[in-house]
Amino acid sequence: MSITGIVLAGGQGKRMGGQDKGWVNFQGQAMISHVLQRLSPQVDEILISANRELAQYQQLGYPVIEDAISGFAGPLAGLHAGLQQASHPYVLTVPCDSPLLPPQLAKRLMNGLIERDADLAFAKTGQQNHPVFCLCRRSLLPGLEQYLQAGGRKVGDWMATLDTVAVSFTDQALAFANINTPEELQWLEQAA
């Protein structure tokens, strides 16, 4: 199954003092570098969804796409832009601030999606959903576009309109830790 991977790096980083989180240092290198190293063996194409530091992201060697919807509209805007640009029938999204993402993420989400014949598969650890770690069909673009044009922005509300399947990664809970604050960065560096 051919998959386009989208690294969501388009946020404002408010809780990180306004820093672009993709470029925050984690264990000696930028978080986005960790994410790309873990994601690239799992997908056929990578796109980086970013809204600032575009030239810096382009230096990583992957196409950089901007939100078509203005005003930092959140992860769905990044997914929307990615679905428009993706070359493959399946799209996997991951955030740029989760440097420990699992090496079997794409495979396990794809297995869940195919088994259930669902529209979208997302990661779950224990009772915690991780909706931005999702694999979906590119054919969801028209419905997502409608949702966004109607003013919708919440990932969970949009996903509630779809046939979704939660895929358990409870065995790898630390892999989904995302870094939003300097304190979380310090904690994850010690925990990893």
For the chain, what are the domain ranges?
Answer: 3-191
Pairing of strands 128-137, 90-95: antiparallel
Average pLDDT of the segment spanning 16-26: 76
Eight-class DSSP state of 42: G
Q: What is the pLDDT of residue 16?
A: 52
One-letter amino acid for residue 38 of the chain: R
pLDDT digits (tens, 9 = 90+) for 107-129: 999 999 999 999 999 999 999 99
Q: Residue range 76-81: average pLDDT?
A: 93
Among candidates 116, 120, 117, which has minimal Cα distance to 90? Answer: 120
**Between residues 145 and 184, the one the model is more confident about:** 145
Residue 16 CB partners (closer than 8 Å, separation 6+): 24, 179, 180, 181, 182
Residue 186 has a CB neighbour count (10 Å cut-off) of: 11
Q: What is the pLDDT confidence band of residue 39, given thresholds at 50, 70 and 90?
A: very high
Read off the pLDDT of each residue in 86-106 and give the average, rounded to a whole number.
96
Give the domain 3-191 fold.
Answer: Spore Coat Polysaccharide Biosynthesis Protein SpsA; Chain A (3.90.550)
Residue 76, token pair as written in the block: 């769905």
pLDDT at position 43 over 60: yes
Mean pLDDT of the chain: 91
Q: Residue 183 carries which side chain, given as an amino acid letter?
A: E
Q: What is the pLDDT of residue 185?
A: 82
pLDDT at 72 (0 to 100): 61
pLDDT at 188 over 90: no
Band (17; pLDDT cuts 50, 70, 90): low
pLDDT, tens digit, 9 for 90 and up, residues 133-171: 999 999 999 999 999 999 898 999 999 999 999 999 999
Q: Contact at 8 Å (CB) between 142 and 163?
A: no
Reported as a pLDDT band with limits 50, 70 and 90, residue 29 is very high
Buried b (16+ CB within 10 A) or exposed e, 142-167: eebeebbeeeeeebeebbeeeebbbb
* Alpha helices (H) along the chain: 31-39, 54-58, 75-85, 105-116, 141-149, 155-159, 182-191
Report d(CA 77, CA 71) in Å as an integer: 10
Please give the pLDDT value at position 20.
77
Confidence (pLDDT) at 186: 86
Question: What span, in angstroms and rounded, lies between the C-alpha atoms of 68 and 84?
Answer: 10
Judged against a pLDDT cut of 80, whether residue 71 lies above it is answered with: no
CB burial of residue 11 (10 Å; 0-12, 13-18, 19+): buried
Token digits of residue 30: 């930028």
Q: Please state, for a pLDDT cut of 90, what percent of the chain lies above it.
A: 72
